[in-house]
A and B are shown apart, each in its own frame.
Chain A
Amino acid sequence: MNALSVQGLTKTYGNGVQALKGIDLAVEEGDFFALLGPNGAGKTTLIGIVTSLVRKTAGHASIFGYDVDRELEAAKSCIGVVPQEINFNQFESPETIVINQAGFYGIPRPVARVRAELYLKQLQLWDKRKHASRALSGGMKRRLMIARALMHEPRLLILDEPTAGVDIEVRRSMWEFLREINQRGTTIILTTHYLEEAETLCRNIAIIDHGRIIERDRMSNLLRRLHTETFVLTLRHPLRQAPQLPAYSAKLVDEHTLEVEISTEQNVNDLFARLSALGIEVISMRNKVNRLEEIFIRLVEKGAAA
């Protein structure tokens, strides 16, 4: 069964801006799905329509088979949403916010209290449960929105840039938490600007641009399409000019930094063998850009050119 299914989804705002231009998309139950796109591509509009915060102009959407036009109540019961912007009452405490949210989904208060403890502890907010939420840090506020979205144990969790502005340590612990939630059967749709995040977490991906889906594939298939990767090598001894490396494209960035492009037919062992033969000692190596980022930029640029 599809967790989310949309057909011909169109949205034209009052000011005439067409945010979605007939989108078709299906996300399977249990998936960890990335929805990527540049700013203003239509991601948040799509999420808004699915969660009933934005009224669609045309098309159909269903959540686990529940049509959002005919069975809205049932469809909404299945969704938990973590929006891009902070949207809880900042004068209330985290504990009050999550318990009240459970109540809006018909969860009795005794059950809500137990879940509040569970999720606030798991998201490292238990110690702050009685504080005014406006006093929480940016990362804590984002985690609070995740805890709130989980209170009714939704079958589909939609995260709209959940780690924006969150430091790397907290981001990684959030990834671990989301993986666990997904492994236990919750379908997750993630939009993010951190493409490393999408590459690390998601199994399937759609790229949206100018209100249209321009790519929809398995993450592994998409990454396989990348024929070349650029590595940045840090050299122990300075070089005055780029070394002659037949079959490789090499560029000296500065006297201690060399960029080398390697195609999928070539291999790193061969490159290192050649560098060793030239007496060049490499002390570290990294990808110039994230692989998904490279594909993403190419697809979006291609779309813009078309």
Chain B
Amino acid sequence: MSTVVERLTPRPLARGRARWIGFETILIREFQRIIRIWPQTILPSAVTATLYLVIFGSVIGRRIGTMDGFAYMVYIAPGLIMQAVIINSYNNVVSSFYGAKFGRHIEELLVSPLPSWIIVSGYVAGGVMRGAMVGLVVSGVWMFFTRLPILHPTIVIAAAVLTSVTFSLGGFLNAMFAKSFDQISIIPTFVLTPLIYFGGVFYSINALPVWARHLSLVDPILYMVNSFRFGFLGVSDVGVWDAFAIMIVAVTILFVAAIVLLDRSSGIRE
């Protein structure tokens, strides 16, 4: 089989550098996965965006007229981009991490010296990467057909990244608890989709009755969609800084929960 085994031992790396390489490797692996199965990861959102554009933007939107001073097609564009970011960030992490659990290749990471926070960060960064890729594709589709202004680019980026991190962490937690493929589709279908649809993607909550407006305020996605819309159009149903505060708190709580659960290895180690 072989003659001589050569040793190729470089100088030991500093712990920080070694951890960075580990993080980078998880991210590269996620990128390879997204590209390898692009018809499942990138394409569906582009198709859905086009359908929304045709049906809600063009056919129905013309009858609705304007909302908050913008053509309906322009008004719903940020919300629909955010919807794609949320769904793709969540789905990327939940399917990748659960797939690794199911196929047992999560053990490659668990036996390695990488600490839990690096593993969580790597998967979350993968989710953000797919959220960003799909977000750009969907934005491209919309911008091809409409003139979508970007009044505050920094707010657009910050809102997209924080939302993506939040839902990537959500996907990670779902995957930690899931014991079957059914369980990774329950939350997106029965929790995420209703929250998105009631989160002001298609309408301003000011158009709702008072009780419904108050009820909408408990939906976290409302804050994400509105801060994102503010970045594009300069209009929002909620205070933008309140929205950022809520997102930062959500990210912090979910990140700590993910690390604690991975450290305890709930559902992974025996």
Give the interface of A toward B (CB within 8 A). Answer: 13-14, 48, 51-55, 72-74, 76-77, 79, 81, 83, 85-92, 96, 100-101, 103-109, 111, 114-115, 118, 121-124, 148, 153, 173-174, 176-177, 180-181, 184
> What is the size, in residues, of chain B's interface with A at 8 Å between Cβ atoms?
39
Which chain B residues border A106 with CB–CB below 8 Å?
13, 17-19, 21-22, 113
Q: Are B111 and A53 in contact (CB-based, < 8 A)?
A: yes
Q: Are A74 and B111 in contact (CB-based, < 8 A)?
A: no
**Cross-chain contact of B22 among A104, A174, A184 (Cβ < 8 A):** A104
Residue interface bits B112-132, CB-to-A below 8 A is 1, else 0? 111100000000000000000
Q: Are B111 and A81 in contact (CB-based, < 8 A)?
A: yes
A83 CB to closest chain B CB, in angstroms?
Answer: 7
* Interface flag for B182 (CB, 8 Å): no
* Cα separation A76 to B113 with both chains bound (whole Å): 5
Q: Are A52 and B104 in contact (CB-based, < 8 A)?
A: no
Flag the segment in B23-31, B205-213, B221-229, B244-252 that touches A.
Answer: B23-31
Q: Are B110 and A88 in contact (CB-based, < 8 A)?
A: no
* Cα separation A107 to B22 with both chains bound (whole Å): 8
Q: Are B270 and A103 in contact (CB-based, < 8 A)?
A: no
* Cα separation A76 to B2 with both chains bound (whole Å): 27
CB-nearest residue of chain A to B19: A106
Which chain A residues border B32 with CB–CB below 8 Å?
92, 96
* Cα separation A123 to B113 with both chains bound (whole Å): 25
Give the interface of B toward A (CB within 8 A). Answer: 1-2, 4-10, 13, 15, 17-19, 21-22, 24-26, 28-29, 32, 36, 100, 103-105, 107-115, 265, 269-270
Besides A48-B270, A108-B13, A181-B5, 19 other A-B contacts (C-beta < 8 A): A52-B269, A53-B110, A54-B269, A72-B113, A83-B107, A87-B104, A87-B105, A87-B107, A90-B103, A100-B28, A100-B108, A101-B108, A106-B17, A118-B5, A122-B2, A153-B7, A153-B9, A180-B5, A184-B7
CB-nearest residue of chain A to B20: A106
Q: Are B25 and A100 in contact (CB-based, < 8 A)?
A: yes
* Cα separation A96 to B2 with both chains bound (whole Å): 22
B105 CB to closest chain A CB, in angstroms?
Answer: 5
Total inter-chain residue pairs, C-beta < 8 Å? 112
16 A-B contacts (beta carbon < 8 Å): A51-B111, A52-B269, A53-B110, A55-B265, A76-B113, A87-B105, A103-B22, A103-B28, A104-B22, A104-B114, A108-B10, A118-B5, A122-B2, A153-B9, A180-B4, A184-B5
B121 CB to closest chain A CB, in angstroms?
Answer: 13
Q: Are A118 and B8 in contact (CB-based, < 8 A)?
A: yes
Which chain A residues border B26 with CB–CB below 8 Å?
104
CB-nearest residue of chain A to B10: A111
Q: Are B108 and A87 in contact (CB-based, < 8 A)?
A: yes
